[in-house]
């Protein structure tokens, strides 16, 4: 049965208005606009919400200092488009509506100022506001029906108690509190699913005609969702038919068996197999990238979001508008049904994606997950600063990162936070290092400051910052997400490995907080031998090994590609259930692959060097299949750096 897609607005209307619900069930569409309570005064709610979200986004990006006045906050919103609308209203002699909007914006600016004043220890806006305009999706199984609920929450911030708080901004003057609590309860449920934690407060905040705050407990919101909202979800799932185009089966058809007289039976792989992970190995010209991309395309067609980590530039074409313009048939349908994002971390002129020293929320992980994050961050910084492995300064830096993380409500300190903790000889740090001589820490200040000056763009939080939830988040229309990260602009190898290590830890954090019995998303790493090599131990190796063990429980599949299979570490092979082995000639690689093909009874050196382009052996537990792969819809053209930057710039949001 076709999944049922609902927006938060549609579900809210279905809950609060039985007549609307009947129209929606009958027609599959109904207007969700709810009138304001301003009489002849038009309350420009959409404009207000947009300006409020922009203000928080600008503040998180550092547009104003933490001690900015309410007037400065108000003027920032004016500069984001409020002034033009106000002038337009005044020209139309709609003075009352202009005044109402001005009052609401002033009130919002004052509210932001009061939040800051209530947290005098905060040194940055990111210590107050977690995110703004955050897209969310809730996936439910109702009987035999899948239900997807999508929405964009107004704001998520830190309550003074240190607990996250989901906020819904209102201009309705509090005239329909029971109905507005329904919407907040839905958002609360979406955020709980997104963060995998019930520890979440709620707040309704009214900004016209005066400020009115309605704090709501997590218990109350859960009760509203369970008693009022969920029964309506069940009714909609049962009564709304599954009309619409037939969706693809869950199995991916990846090729045909090879026979002497040509192709034979279709070869398929179930989507569930991706939660047990996939390895695609083949030398240059083997067709491994084409095989991987046709699987990616089919996963997207089956509503599975995908993350591509691209080292060379041959995975970026999906974000190229010219490819979409030239497409037709199945490819046009695919690209039209996917939300594509292309990032260029390390390069602000494209679409940068900054990182913190450790992922937000690291403090809340179990110790066995938390300690490797701190250790890897210290080792990565040490490598970028050319420190020797095992140097005392690295151990001290690990403790400094831990102390800096514990001092931040978000648990995600900046490089400057680390420098200040060390430079100021913080008492908590001196206690944490025990008998280690503090002079080892003092020697780190200059190299760390130099690192911030020379490579500060890697750690910049002025724009978008790394978040697994954001990488996989679906837009309001529920399209699966295709996120492409080009690592070409990260600089030297130590910088690139540090950035990718943080991505791996972020995916690990996401996996630990987002359990799922079914496949939700797939992350594909090209040239994975750099991150999981046989004879080295880069800072990516431990988190990659850990992710392969833990991602399955979150419904997160990992695909690893390599054209240098001789350099790949096969000790993790027990965590990779399915292997595709293409044209491989290197003697050391063929020798190592005996461990992968040992159950098949086939010697790699007898079959792999003779394969043609697009021919693979599929190894899955005790099953071995020789196949000819079908082609991907998008070819494997390597884009230049200038082309990638230009596409990423167009892709900014």
Token representation of residue 83: 């002034």
pLDDT at 107: 94
The contacts found for 39-42 with CB under 8 angstroms, 24 or more apart, are 40/96, 41/96, 41/97, 41/100, 42/94, 42/97, 42/100
CATH of residue 520:
3.40.50.300
What is the domain count for the chain? 4
pLDDT at 113: 95
pLDDT at 263: 55
In a domain, 596, yes or no: yes
Nearest to 358 by CA among 438, 433, 310, 417: 417
Contact between 370 and 362 (Cβ < 8 Å):
yes
List per-block mean pLDDT (blocks of 10 residues) for the chain, which spans 653 residues: 79 91 74 44 69 88 93 92 87 87 93 92 90 74 80 87 89 77 93 75 90 92 92 88 49 85 77 94 93 96 95 92 83 91 92 85 76 88 83 88 82 83 89 87 89 79 82 82 95 90 89 83 96 92 92 93 92 91 94 86 91 93 87 88 94 78
Q: Tell whether 69 and 162 lie within a shared domain.
A: no
Q: Tell whether 63 and 212 lie within a shared domain.
A: no
Nearest to 362 by CA among 349, 373, 350: 373
Q: Tell whether 484 and 594 lie within a shared domain.
A: yes
In a domain, 40, yes or no: no
- DSSP code at position 263: E
Q: Tell whether 501 and 645 lie within a shared domain.
A: yes
Of the candidates 428, 458, 488, which is a domain's last residue? Answer: 458
For residue 102, the Cα-to-chain-centroid distance in whole angstroms is 35
In a domain, 246, yes or no: no
The contacts found for 83-91 with CB under 8 angstroms, 24 or more apart, are 85/44, 85/47
SS3 151: strand
Q: Tell whether 226 and 178 lie within a shared domain.
A: yes
Nearest to 497 by CA among 466, 463, 465, 528: 528
Q: Tell whether 172 and 195 lie within a shared domain.
A: yes
Of the candidates 80, 103, 126, which is a domain's last residue? Answer: 126
In a domain, 245, yes or no: no
pLDDT at 616: 96
pLDDT at 43: 52
Give the number of other CB atoms < 10 A from CB of residue 183: 23
In a domain, 597, yes or no: yes
pLDDT at 36: 40
pLDDT at 28: 57
Q: Number of C-alpha atoms within 13 angstroms, CB side, residue 276?
A: 14
Which residues lie closer than 8 Å to 447 by C-beta, 6 or more apart? 385, 387
pLDDT tens digit string along 188-241?
998 887 775 667 999 999 988 889 999 999 999 999 998 999 999 989 988 885
CATH of residue 175:
3.90.320.10
In a domain, 244, yes or no: no
In a domain, 532, yes or no: yes
Q: Tell whether 93 and 154 lie within a shared domain.
A: no
Q: Tell whether 340 and 234 lie within a shared domain.
A: no
Of the candidates 409, 441, 458, which is a domain's last residue? Answer: 458
In a domain, 39, yes or no: no
Q: Tell whether 501 and 408 lie within a shared domain.
A: no
DSSP assignment string, 359-398: -TTGGGS-HHHHHHHHHHHHHHHHHHTTPPTT-HHHHHHH
CA pair distance 374, 412, nearest whole angstrom: 11
- Structural domain including 179 reads 4-34+128-239
SS3 110: helix
Which residues is 206 bridged to in the sheet?
Answer: 170, 212
Q: Tell whether 228 and 368 lie within a shared domain.
A: no
How close are the terminal C-alpha atoms of the chain, in Å?
A: 34
Which residues is 279 bridged to in the sheet?
Answer: 560, 579
Q: Tell whether 200 and 311 lie within a shared domain.
A: no
Contact between 207 and 171 (Cβ < 8 Å):
yes
Q: Tell whether 176 and 205 lie within a shared domain.
A: yes
pLDDT tens digit string along 315-348?
999 999 988 888 787 888 899 999 999 999 999 8
């Amino acid at each position: 049965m076709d999944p049922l897609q609902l927006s938060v607005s549609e579900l809210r209307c279905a809950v609060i208005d039985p007549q609307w619900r009947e129209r929606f069930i009958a027609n599959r569409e109904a207007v969700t606009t709810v009138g304001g309570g301003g009489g002849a005064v038009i309350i420009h709610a959409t404009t207000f919400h947009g300006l409020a979200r922009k203000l928080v986004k600008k503040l998180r990006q550092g547009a104003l200092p933490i001690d900015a006045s309410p007037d400065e906050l108000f003027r920032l919103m004016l500069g984001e488009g409020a002034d033009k609308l106000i002038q337009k209203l005044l020209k139309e002699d709609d003075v009352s509506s202009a005044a109402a909007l001005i009052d609401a914006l002033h009130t919002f600016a004052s509210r932001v100022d009061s939040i800051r004043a209530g947290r005098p220890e905060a040194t940055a806006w990111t210590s107050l506001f977690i995110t703004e305009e955050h897209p969310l999706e809730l996936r439910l199984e109702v009987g035999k029906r899948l239900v997807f609920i999508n929405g964009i929450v107004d704001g998520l911030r830190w309550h003074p108690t240190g607990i996250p708080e989901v906020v819904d901004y209102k201009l309705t003057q509090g005239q329909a509190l029971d109905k507005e609590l329904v919407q907040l309860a839905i958002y609360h449920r979406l955020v709980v699913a997104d963060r995998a934690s019930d520890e979440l407060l709620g707040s309704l905040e009214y900004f016209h005609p005066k400020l009115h705050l309605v704090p709501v407990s997590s218990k109350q919101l859960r009760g509203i969702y369970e008693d009022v909202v969920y029964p309506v979800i069940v009714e909609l799932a049962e009564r709304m038919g599954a009309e619409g185009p037939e969706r693809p089966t869950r199995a991916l058809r990846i090729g045909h068996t090879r026979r002497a007289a040509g192709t034979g039976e279709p070869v398929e792989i179930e989507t569930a197999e991706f939660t047990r992970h996939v390895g695609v190995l083949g030398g240059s010209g083997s067709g491994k990238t084409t095989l991987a991309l046709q699987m990616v395309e089919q996963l997207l067609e089956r509503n599975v979001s995908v993350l591509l980590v691209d080292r060379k530039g041959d995975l970026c074409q999906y974000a190229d508008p010219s490819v979409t313009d030239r497409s037709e048939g199945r490819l046009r349908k695919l690209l039209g049904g996917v939300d594509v994002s292309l990032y260029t971390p390390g390069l602000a002129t494209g679409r940068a994606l900054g990182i913190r020293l450790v992922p937000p929320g690291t403090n809340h992980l179990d110790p066995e997950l938390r300690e490797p994050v701190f250790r890897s961050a210290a080792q990565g910084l040490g490598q970028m600063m050319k420190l020797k492995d095992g140097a005392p300064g690295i151990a001290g830096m690990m403790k400094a990162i831990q102390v800096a993380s514990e001092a931040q409500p978000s648990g995600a300190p900046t490089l400057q936070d680390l420098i200040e903790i060390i430079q100021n000889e913080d008492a908590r740090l001196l206690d944490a290092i025990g008998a280690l001589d503090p002079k080892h820490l003092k020697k780190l200040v200059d190299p760390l400051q130099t690192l911030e000056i020379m490579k500060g763009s890697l750690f910049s939080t002025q724009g978008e910052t790394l978040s697994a939830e954001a990488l996989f988040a679906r837009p309001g229309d529920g399209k699966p997400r295709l996120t492409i990260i080009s690592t070409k602009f990260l600089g030297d190898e130590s910088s690139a490995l540090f950035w990718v290590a943080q991505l791996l830890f972020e995916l690990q954090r996401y996996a630990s907080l987002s359990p799922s019995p079914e496949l939700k998303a797939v992350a594909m790493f090209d040239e994975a031998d750099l991150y999981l090599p046989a004879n080295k131990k880069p800072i990516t190796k431990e988190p990659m090994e850990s992710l392969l063990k833990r991602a399955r429980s979150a419904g997160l599949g990992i695909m690893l590609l390599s054209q240098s299979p001789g350099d790949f570490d096969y000790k993790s092979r027990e965590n990779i259930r399915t292997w595709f082995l293409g044209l491989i000639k290197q003697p050391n690689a063929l020798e190592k692959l005996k461990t992968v093909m040992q159950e098949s009874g086939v010697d790699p050196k007898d079959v792999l060097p003779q394969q043609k382009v697009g021919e693979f052996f599929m190894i899955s537990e005790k099953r071995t299949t020789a196949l000819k792969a079908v082609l991907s819809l998008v070819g494997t053209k390597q884009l230049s750096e200038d082309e990638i930057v230009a596409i990423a710039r167009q892709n900014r949001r």
